[in-house]
């Protein structure tokens, strides 16, 4: 197309040069230097530390519990991450998760619906509420912080009004079955589901056009718009996806409890917020958007679960746990900031 | 008598560019002095140095005979240099009096403000300017011209003996301009030294006593008395050039098919009666001063602003373009933004993710499946052809040089196979060698059959590149003509169109007032 351009060069040479960069050796080397690898080391270290120092941590019973809470934490982290991609955030994921599981619970208990159909409708509600968040943000141009702060109260409040805060606790047995089963004696199938979902997310960002759109819009919405990418569609999809993932987390939680309880994620679903941000940020996602790591978010969520579980076994108070996780989030955010500064100085050179 | 402001041999460079190579200026008390120059001549850098926003690297600044050195704008104000910028710098929800005396109100942090004293003093300065305005009124209730007068009052209240006016009439109507001039003459007669920066030659000939013209970072003339000088004398000083214009050859064929055509287009942003044909295989250069509405027209074409009247035609058929997405994927129109870092590229992403962004939706398979290899197959030849120097396809664009960033910004439109390319300020901030490369590249792209619209404030660039030239002023096309490639002839023609533009005063000022309110 462009042959004979002024100082034309052998184009083959350049092409191979470009392609070589992505080869395996380089990839392994880069992984060893990445924040994911550092995080993996931290997870192994924390795991080994608690395994050796804490009585009960290594028991199959405890490992089973750990795998179940890791499954939920992974989904909560991925839910928030799918919005962080777009440069926004979603404070309402806890409320959405609870709303979805309450709807599923109501369908099973009051309407006698079979579990699979009820869960499907619950997940659809999660997607719908997330979609609503996205549409409000795109149409009004307001920041997702304000919008989701409002919808968090609207969703949760609406749910309390409709249910009068009554839990649904006589759910069919086949609904809670996945939370009771053991794989290899100590692993919950829920964790397998979460890892499968994480693989789908990695696939989305790496190998689909819409995933690339989301990253581009998050990194620089104006540049993406001028490149013919629909920014509003990408942002709406990010929020809808967050809603579905939050709904899955909510349903898993009620499987574990054997009941759909309005307060299971705290008032307004706020108990989810700390792990929701901590997972992706530890995993190397940029809060300004455009850079995420699914593996990092998964590892971050696992680290949170291990620390949570280990510290509780050590009988430190729950307040200390909150304190510690809060400090961890501050530290992770500062590391992110420092990394940005290194990038910025690289630009100036 | 020593001059109010004396600049001698000021130098200043930025990475890759020598912005000022020894500029001098001598401003006498009781005179109005014009500062003129094309875009890129070094005018804005000189203004920033005078107002203390930047420090010079060499040379000397003397105020009333005493050498000074400003570390920040506050020190310039303390030395008696008052500035009225092109944009309004008032706080709309504060009163006129508060705005005039803002620096003193702000410096007394905890003491309660004595409002009657503030308003009395403000009244004093307003009287001096013969303005009958209640100092208790809110600035947001005033029109643009009056707000500008308030800024002059503020400058005077700071004991300024030197007043720098940067494009003061850009948003004024004719009668407002006349009122401003009366006031400036009165101030001059009171001994104030006024430095008047403007593009409008008529105003300068009417108002000023002396003129300094900058060209390519040097003095084309130094504080020369205006008496006896004509318009064309000044224009010659502004555009006289040493470097020859490279000849890329011009395409004067009129039988080429028209790809994109605008027929009496008006936009929500304020364009009126835009008629422009873009033929396959030619480059049309769109010249205009900053704020003339050129980039805004490009944005309207790709669907970012509404067309309120007239129509856009592609290959002769009227079309409606609702978004950049449609512009690209349905009609093959690409827009290379002038703001490379904010809109042209995604700095925090790699080369491949940037160049691929225009083709993802075209290349995706079932369920949106898309492998890097698919994108690379399309993108790599373009990158090689443009000689993008990157260590790998994943190298972050923020770590590339400005020239390579611009290549990336252009490459994505070539990868997308656009037929119409709108390139806004193609070589801003790019070194001379790469600039020449881009000129050859754009020329080649047009000859391959694309219709190219180049928007540029760089007159030599425009005359190098264009087959035809269109001149825009105040959101209207004021002239269209074939490019002869002769710099002297063409630059005079362009300047003549801009300065002869009919004063569409009332409408224009409403637009710019609306713009000012929006920003």
- Residues A111-143 pLDDT 10s: 999 999 999 999 999 999 999 999 999 999 999
Q: What is the CA radius of gyration of chain B?
A: 25
Q: Give residue B399's pLDDT band: very low, low, confident or very high (50, 70, 90).
A: confident
Task: Write out the two tokens for A56.
Answer: 């009960």
B392 contact residues in A (CB cutoff 8 A): 17-18, 20-22
The ranges assigned to domains in chain A are 64-276
A173 touches chain B (CB under 8 A): no
Separation of alpha carbons B175 and A33, rounded Å? 68
Convert A69-107 into a string of H (helix), E (strand) and C (coil): HHHHHHHHHHHHHHHHCCCCCCCCHHHHHHHHHHHHHHH
Provide the pLDDT for residue A25: 55
Mean pLDDT across the stretch B497-504? 64
The pLDDT of residue A116 is: 95
Check: CB of residue B333 under 8 Å from CB of residue B260. yes
**Cα A346 to Cα B357: distance, rounded to the nearest angstrom:** 24
Segment 319-348 of chain A within 8 Å of chain B by CB? 343-344, 346-347
pLDDT digits (tens, 9 = 90+) for B9-52: 999 887 656 788 889 999 999 999 999 887 667 888 898 899 88
B 401-430 residues inside an 8 A Cβ radius of A: 412, 414, 416
What sign results for the dihedral spanned by CA atoms A42, A48, A49, A55? positive
Q: Tens of pLDDT along B173-185?
A: 777 788 888 888 9
Residue A349 has pLDDT above 80, yes or no: no
Residue window 322-351, chain B: list those with CB within 8 Å of chain A.
323-325, 327-329, 335, 337, 342-349
- The two beta strands, B58-63 and B66-68, are antiparallel
Restricting to B residues 153-212, those with a Cβ less than 8 Å away from any Cβ of A are none
The angle that helices A173-180 and A189-207 make with each other, rounded to 10 degrees, is 80
Residue A339, pLDDT above cutoff 90:
no
Closest CA to A282 of A148, A92, A81: A81
By Cβ distance, the residue of B327, B369, B384 closest to A11 is: B384
Does the CB of A290 have a partner CB in chain B at under 8 Å?
yes
Contact B357 A14 (CB under 8 A): no
CA distance A338 to A340: 5
Inform me whether the pLDDT recorded for B1 exceeds 70.
Answer: no
Q: How confident is the model at residue A51 (pLDDT cuts 50, 70, 90)?
A: very high
**Residues A274, A280, A284, A287: is their CA dihedral positive or negative?**
negative
User: What pLDDT is stored for residue B266 in this prediction?
Assistant: 95
Per the CB < 8 Å rule, is A227 touching B358?
A: yes
Task: Look at the alpha carbons of B15, B17, B23, B29 in this order and tell me if their dihedral is positive or negative.
Answer: negative
Strand partners, B424: B455
A286 contacts in chain B (CB < 8 Å): 348
As a whole number, the mean pLDDT across chain B is 85
Closest residue to A212, CB basis, from B347, B360, B441? B360
Interchain CB distance below 8 Å, B353 and A216: yes
Of the listed ranges A149-153, A300-304, B399-403, the one predicted with least confidence: B399-403
Q: Tell me the per-residue pLDDT of B252-289, one tens digit each, with 9 for 90 and over.
A: 677 889 999 999 999 998 999 999 999 999 999 999 87
B222-231: average pLDDT = 83
Q: Which residues of B touch A5 (CB under 8 A)?
A: 385-386, 440-441, 444
* Structural domains in chain B plus CATH codes: 5-239 (3.40.50.300), 257-332+419-430+440-519 (3.40.50.300), 341-417 (no CATH)
């Amino acid at each position: 197309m462009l042959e004979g351009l002024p100082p034309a060069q052998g184009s083959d040479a350049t092409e191979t040069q470009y392609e070589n960069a992505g080869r395996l050796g380089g990839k392994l080397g880069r992984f060893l230097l990445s924040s994911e690898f550092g995080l993996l080391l931290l997870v192994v270290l924390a795991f080994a530390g608690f395994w050796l120092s804490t009585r009960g941590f290594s028991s199959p019973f405890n490992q089973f519990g750990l795998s179940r809470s890791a499954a939920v934490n992974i989904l909560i982290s991925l839910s928030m991450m799918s919005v962080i991609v777009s440069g926004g955030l979603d404070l309402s994921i806890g409320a959405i998760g609870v709303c979805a599981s309450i709807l599923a619970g109501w369908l099973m208990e009051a309407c006698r619906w079979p579990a699979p159909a009820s869960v499907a409708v619950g997940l659809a509600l999660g997607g719908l509420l997330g979609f609503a968040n996205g549409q409000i943000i795109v149409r009004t141009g307001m920041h997702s912080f304000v919008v989701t702060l409002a919808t968090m109260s609207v969703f949760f409040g609406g749910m309390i009004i409709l249910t009068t805060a009554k839990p649904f606790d006589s759910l069919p047995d086949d609904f809670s079955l996945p939370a009771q089963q053991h794989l290899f004696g100590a692993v919950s199938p829920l964790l397998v589901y979460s890892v499968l979902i994480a693989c789908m997310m990695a696939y989305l960002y790496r190998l689909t056009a819409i995933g690339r759109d989301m990253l581009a819009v998050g990194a620089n919405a104006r540049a993406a718009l001028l490149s013919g990418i629909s920014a509003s569609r990408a942002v709406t999809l990010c929020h809808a996806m967050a809603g579905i993932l939050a709904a899955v987390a909510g349903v898993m939680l009620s499987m574990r409890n054997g009941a759909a309880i309005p307060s299971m994620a705290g008032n307004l679903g706020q108990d989810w917020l700390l792990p929701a941000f901590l997972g992706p940020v530890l995993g190397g996602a940029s809060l300004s958007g455009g850079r995420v790591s699914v593996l990092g978010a998964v590892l971050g969520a696992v680290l949170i679960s291990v620390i949570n579980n280990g510290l509780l076994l050590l009988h430190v108070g729950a307040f200390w746990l909150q304190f510690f996780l809060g400090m961890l989030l501050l530290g992770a955010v500062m590391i992110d900031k420092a990394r940005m500064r290194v990038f910025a100085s690289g630009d100036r050179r | 008598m020593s001059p109010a402001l004396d600049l001698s041999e000021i130098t200043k460079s930025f990475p890759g560019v020598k912005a000022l190579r020894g500029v001098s200026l001598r401003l006498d008390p009781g005179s109005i002095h014009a500062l003129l120059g094309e875009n890129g001549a070094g005018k804005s850098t000189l203004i920033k140095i005078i107002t203390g926003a930047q420090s010079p690297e060499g040379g000397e600044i003397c105020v009333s005979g005493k050498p000074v050195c400003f570390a920040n704008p506050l020190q310039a104000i303390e030395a008696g240099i008052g500035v009225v910028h092109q944009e309004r710098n008032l706080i709309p929800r504060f009163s006129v009096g508060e705005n005039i005396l803002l620096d003193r109100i702000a410096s007394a942090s905890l003491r309660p403000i004595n409002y009657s004293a503030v308003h009395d003093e403000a009244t004093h300065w307003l009287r001096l300017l013969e303005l009958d305005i209640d100092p208790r009124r809110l600035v947001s209730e005033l029109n643009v011209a009056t707000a500008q007068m308030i800024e002059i009052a503020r400058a005077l209240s700071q004991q300024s003996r030197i007043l720098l006016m940067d494009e003061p009439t850009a948003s004024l109507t004719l009668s407002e301009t006349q009122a401003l001039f009366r006031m400036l003459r009165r101030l001059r007669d009171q001994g104030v030294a006024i430095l008047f920066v403007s593009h409008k030659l008529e105003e300068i000939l009417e108002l000023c006593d002396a003129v300094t013209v900058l060209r390519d970072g040097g003095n084309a003339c130094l504080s020369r008395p205006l008496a006896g000088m004509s318009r064309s004398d000044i224009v010659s000083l502004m555009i006289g050039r040493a470097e020859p214009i490279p000849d890329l050859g011009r395409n004067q064929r009129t039988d080429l098919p028209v790809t994109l055509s605008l027929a009496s287009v008006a936009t929500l942003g304020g364009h009126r009666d835009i008629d422009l044909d873009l033929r396959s295989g030619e480059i049309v250069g769109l010249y205009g001063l900053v704020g003339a509405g050129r980039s805004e027209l490009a944005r309207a074409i790709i669907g970012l602003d509404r067309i309120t009247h007239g129509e856009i035609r592609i290959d002769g058929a009227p079309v409606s373009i609702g978004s950049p997405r449609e512009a690209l994927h349905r009609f093959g129109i690409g827009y290379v933004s002038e703001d490379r870092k904010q809109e042209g590229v995604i700095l925090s992403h790699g080369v491949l993710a940037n160049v691929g962004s225009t083709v993802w939706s075209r290349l995706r398979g079932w369920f949106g499946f898309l492998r890097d290899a698919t994108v690379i197959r399309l993108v790599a030849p373009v990158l090689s052809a443009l000689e993008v120097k990157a260590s790998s396809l994943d190298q972050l664009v923020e770590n590339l040089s400005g020239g390579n960033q611009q290549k990336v910004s252009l490459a994505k439109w070539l990868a997308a196979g656009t037929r119409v390319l709108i390139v806004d300020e193609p070589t801003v901030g790019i070194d001379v060698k790469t600039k020449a490369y881009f000129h050859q590249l754009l020329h080649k792209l047009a000859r391959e059959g694309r219709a190219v619209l180049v928007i540029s404030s760089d007159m030599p660039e425009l005359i190098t590149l264009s087959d035809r030239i269109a001149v825009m002023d105040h959101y209207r096309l004021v002239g269209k003509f074939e490019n002869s490639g002769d710099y002297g002839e063409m630059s005079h023609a362009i300047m003549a169109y801009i300065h002869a533009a009919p004063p569409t005063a009332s409408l224009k000022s409403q637009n710019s007032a609306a713009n000012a309110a929006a920003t």
